[in-house]
Amino acid sequence: MVSQIDLQARKRAARAFFEKFKVIINKILRGEDPVMEILARTRANIVFDEERKLLLPGSKMLTRKFLDKGEAKRFANTLLMASLIYDALLNDEYPTIRDLYYKGKHTIVYRDLKGRRREENTWNEQKESDRLIVDVEVFTGMLREEMLILSKEKGKVVGNMRIRSGDDIIDLSRMGHGAYAIEPTPDLIEFIDVDAEYVLVIEKDAVFQQLHRIKFWQKNKCILITSSGQPDRATRRFVRRLNDELGLPVYILTDADPYGWYIFSVFRSGSISLSFENERLATPSAKFLGVSMSDIFEKNWLTPKERKNVIIKAKEEDIKRAKEMMRYEWFKNSKKWMHELKLFLKEKKKLEIEALAVKGLKFLAEVYIPQKIQTKDWIE
């Protein structure tokens, strides 16, 4: 019933798990102190790889000990989490990260050295158990998706391509007015036929619907994707694979505001909190197509009157975020991005993609996007 692809993925993950944790078990069996060698995930151990344009973990390792009062709980909890995941792998289960939180959350009752009854919870908040899942990822060198841990997904795709997912072959050019919702484990997807020249990622689902409905992807030979806001891991990995394995250039279209530009930077360089995963989730060659501040204030896409009608005053939080972004390595080292951010802080104005409707409802699809791509008017 369950697909062969999943069964193989399970076996692969269970074997890798077993190999990794065997080291700890053997230490215990030999009467040695159990320790885990694990990559440090502190902010100080994250580096921006200028050449590869990626946020990556540095080389600092830490040793987590069981026989250390300050580390015993985290050590025990990491092993508890690992055993929950391993059990799920063996039992053909597909936990979500929240399932793992609930499955492992319990109270340990014990007596201390003076014989007093004590209680201790394994964990209280989901952010604690989520951190343990990352510990297991980093220790085993596997992404949680490879361990068949599922999650909420928002990404959608249409275009001239066929894929194999599970036991099915799906034609992404035959989705009618709907779309294909990307699976939580995009590494298990096989690309079969692809007849496209580039990938266009749209921040906004409603704009995606619109471009899909006029078959933009067919006319322009592209793969059309929406991240529905801040991209989830599966959408990022899917985009990366299209770029990496098929050599398709990736263009990203967002609102003209710091939130939109941050979405681009997550696609391109990754997020600080997931530095371990960035190496496989980020697409370093992704290009920001628009909407840029220079599109609005230095180029002639809009007349001053049109601009006045659709421009929005930036909020305090936009300004704060822009100032933060000016301190990020990967913006700081880009003249074009610094120009954008300075222009934003000078004008204190932002613009939504849909504002281009003042030029007519076909302007975005028939003029703006094709011209920007043709004239290579993007920011890296």
- Integer Cα distance of 58 and 61 in angstroms: 9
Q: Does the protein bind a second copy through residue 106 (CB under 8 A)?
A: yes
Q: How far is the CB of 328 from a second copy (least distance, A)?
A: 29
Q: How far is the CB of 349 from a second copy (least distance, A)?
A: 15
Count the neighbouring beta carbons within 10 Å of the beta carbon of residue 143: 19
Sketch the per residue contact string, 324 through 363, with a second copy: x for CB under 8 A, - otherwise: ----------------------------x-xxxxx--xx-
> Which of positions 206-225 make contact with a second copy (CB under 8 A)?
206-207, 209-210, 213-215, 218-219
| Comparison of 189 and 281: residue with beta carbon closer to a second copy | 189
Longest dimension (CA), the chain: 80
Q: Is-cis flag, bond preceding 136, omega within 30?
A: no
Q: Which of 101, 264, 267, 328 binds a second copy (CB under 8 A)?
A: 101
C-alpha dihedral (275, 277, 281, 285), degrees to nearest 10: 40
Q: Does the protein bind a second copy through residue 62 (CB under 8 A)?
A: no
Q: How far is the CB of 221 from a second copy (least distance, A)?
A: 14
Q: Does the protein bind a second copy through residue 309 (CB under 8 A)?
A: yes
Q: Does the protein bind a second copy through residue 86 (CB under 8 A)?
A: no
Token pair for 120: 């201790």
Q: Does the protein bind a second copy through residue 118 (CB under 8 A)?
A: no
Q: Does the protein bind a second copy through residue 366 (CB under 8 A)?
A: no
Residues that are catalytic: 102
Residue 367 burial (10 A CB sphere; 0-12, 13-18, 19+) = middle
Residues present in the chain in total:
380
| Comparison of 55 and 295: residue with beta carbon closer to a second copy | 295
| Comparison of 79 and 100: residue with beta carbon closer to a second copy | 100
| Comparison of 62 and 175: residue with beta carbon closer to a second copy | 175
- Integer Cα distance of 264 and 258 in angstroms: 10
Q: Which of 12, 20, 73, 154 binds a second copy (CB under 8 A)?
A: 154
| Comparison of 57 and 186: residue with beta carbon closer to a second copy | 186
Q: How far is the CB of 363 from a second copy (least distance, A)?
A: 10
End-to-end CA distance of the chain: 45
Q: How far is the CB of 184 from a second copy (least distance, A)?
A: 5
> Which of positions 162-191 make contact with a second copy (CB under 8 A)?
163-170, 174-185, 188-189
Q: What are phi and psi of 63, to 5 degrees?
A: -110, 120
Token pair for 221: 């030979």
Q: What are phi and psi of 202, to 5 degrees?
A: -110, 130
- Integer Cα distance of 347 and 215 in angstroms: 36
Q: What are phi and psi of 99, to 5 degrees?
A: -55, -45
Q: How far is the CB of 70 from a second copy (least distance, A)?
A: 26
